[in-house]
Structure 1
Amino acid sequence: MRKATLPLCLLVAMLHLTVHSLTHIYHHNDKPNATDPQEQHPREGDPLESCQWIVHSNTDFAFWFYRQATTQEPGKNSFFSPVSVSTAFALLALGSRANCQAQVLEGLAFNLASTWEEEIHNSFHHLLLLLNCPGSQVQLSVGNTLFMDKYLKPLKTLLKDIKKLYKGQVVSSNFQDSTEAKKEINDHIKNKTHGNIIQILKDLDPNTVVVIVNYIYFKAYWENPFNINGTHKDYFHVNAKTSVEVKMMTRDGFYKTYSDRNLSCEVVQIPYKGDVAALFILPSEGKMKQLEDALTKDTVAKWEKSLERQRIEVYIPKLSILGTYDLKKMFMNLGVTDVFSDRADLSGITGKPDVKVSKAAHTALLKIHENGTEAAAFIGTDFLPHSVPPAVKFSHPFLLLIVDQYTQIILMGKIVNPAEK
């Protein structure tokens, strides 16, 4: 018997690095950095304890990113992985130096006055170990790949750090043939996302010499699947003037819920098998902006603390949404400018400072659905009295947070139109 799956989340952050000039980039001596990444880190010990502080910074970054993403494309669906973006830029910081490096790390909400660079990279190392921990309940894989022009000579320290700290791989590519390089990168992402993201890269700057890719593949099973026989056609109200037809899933069962009267919203937690849960947040009509303005990690913590188990009938639309974001524009708005300009100092990559980031993008795919008619007969059915429970119907724009209960890493989304292709 197959189990109902949802959601499938595929998230990719990508950075293109180009040369300032093509005259000197291929001729230099390889002189490793003096820092020894093998040294014992003072915070090493319990993996969760070693990375918990970085999660708090990443959560602050996540809510900043949410506001940037929804401002970049108002009225559109949003879905993204803050940790994908921050991991890709943290990896970039490995190869950055001086003010360029400081801007990147401060842009990720790290306080460099009280935090060492080594501390940041070691914490990402522990976080990636936790996220890649194999388990039968949740399928989650996180990876980093550095595609580098075959004529470049990367510093040995960089190669060692990418492998040790970020579990990354470095691939030598022929960027002189942009068509071949583009195909190689697209094929890599297609393979890592199990064929779901086919073309992450549509064009390639002819001066590109390095592409950094971070990907996350997440697939989980509902603790109590939806019955496919209950899915029916219904209307989702995008706004006061527009309604679209959707396939609405429904389930009568016991869920943890909270009604936030101050923010005029309903919160429903739907757990997966394993240590992950989704928070669906439904604002009262006309109250979305009020909700978004108050969206912080403290607000989410309050919701999670206030949840109480009760019987409800929940309605959620089936959907498949793709979010693509211009990270260069977003980070420049944050004051991270040097790495995208001729002032960039990425000498930690090749020993030469004449490389800059020309393009940075993040793509995320979310699918929420049942998977096959076998979901009609499932183990774990709630035994319910013959009465009509209150209903929570997600039939107008709502927010979605997928939270790893162990690390507290979150994926975030805003569903404005489930029917949008």
Structure 2
Amino acid sequence: MAKKQQAFPGSWWLVGSTFHYIAIFGFTILLTIALYYWNREGRLLQKSGLITSSYVEIRGSVPTNCSISISHQEKKKCNLFSGRWVYDKKSLPPYKDRNCTFMFDDLACEKYGRKDLNYQYWRWQPDDCDLPKFDAKALLNKLRDKRLVFVGDSLNRNQWVSFICLIESSIPSSFKSRVLKGNLYRFNAKEYNTSIDFYWSPLLVESNSDDPANHHLNERIVRLQSIEKHAKNWTDADILVFNSYLWWKVPTLKVLSESFETPNPVYKQVESRKCYKMALHTWSRWVIKHVNPSKTRMFWISMSPTHSVASNWGMPGDRKCYNETQLIAKEQLRGSETDPQMMRMTEWTIENLKAKGLKVDLLNITRLSEYRKDGHPTIYRKLWRPLTKDQLANPINYADCTHWCLPGVPDVWNQMLYAYLISDTDNI
């Protein structure tokens, strides 16, 4: 020991050098920790917005009984959109399609012959918390004497049907009803004096696609500054859940300045993203003019991904979601069917409303749903038109890779909506 001590006393250079190395070592450790958490939260996090930062990396592969994880920007105490899919056959599904009184047959995949039911057993597990258990009676009490309206396209109808199926078993049969009248689909929970509605308005503004039954037209025509025709049907709502995306996925739209009744109307062909931006502007002006933030709660559901391009998950491009029964396990997944520019437009519009004191909560369901190529009806649904010989010969031609089987992915969207509604006592 004496010989070791003789090497150090009075040697200030050695002390300074030792301190220098310790400092470098400490800095290296701190840098490593910082990089770890940077990667953990996602390399593409941005300062503001929920959608533009939603492209993420998967951590790990996805066998049937395992999970996938995504990273995302933090929101409040717990970011509900950062998590993983967990296979859970104990607590799922929350209902069966045949047992939901108000199920729509184009979403009832098990009823229409789907044998693989694993799509029903995936629950969403946020990274830093648990989603609250969906309590239908607690939610109905929260909605007592109120009107909730889903406004948008068939994906929003998909979510509305899920919402009804999640709550209707808690209501005696004589105290619930559903009425479909034109663009308005209404579910009444009479005991609670509550209505939960869906209003068909796929482009939000007035268009030639506003007929809920007859809207498959060769050309889409919009009146980009006209929203009152629709909005008058949901101005009195206490809670509004908007979506609009899928119907803008065409190269161009015809824009009409006059009414549809004008003889010999003049149209202007406009690129679809420009139309979408103008429609968002019209919608936001309506919000500013008509919404009382102390009375009305607003949500925007981000775009629901489709799975019609199999090359997104490493399969031949001419394949779709037909016969897919597994989650996507591809790292750094970027689905080519979603549009980042439209995402940014939506984000900017919502941030602009926030700056004006009008809160719209953005439920970012896009990335977590991107991995669920297994969850679409494909051919297991009611078909409204007779199939052609070509379709019968190749089921991929008519497989629905846009909407979602129920029970399934939209139940998770509603569980997230439930988390907002049940906890936000100040705004409901």
Instruction: Assess same fold via TM > 0.5.
Output: no
* Structure with more strand by fraction: 1
Larger radius of gyration: 2
* Structure with more helix by fraction: 2
**What TM-score does the superposition give when structure 2 sets the normalisation length?**
0.23
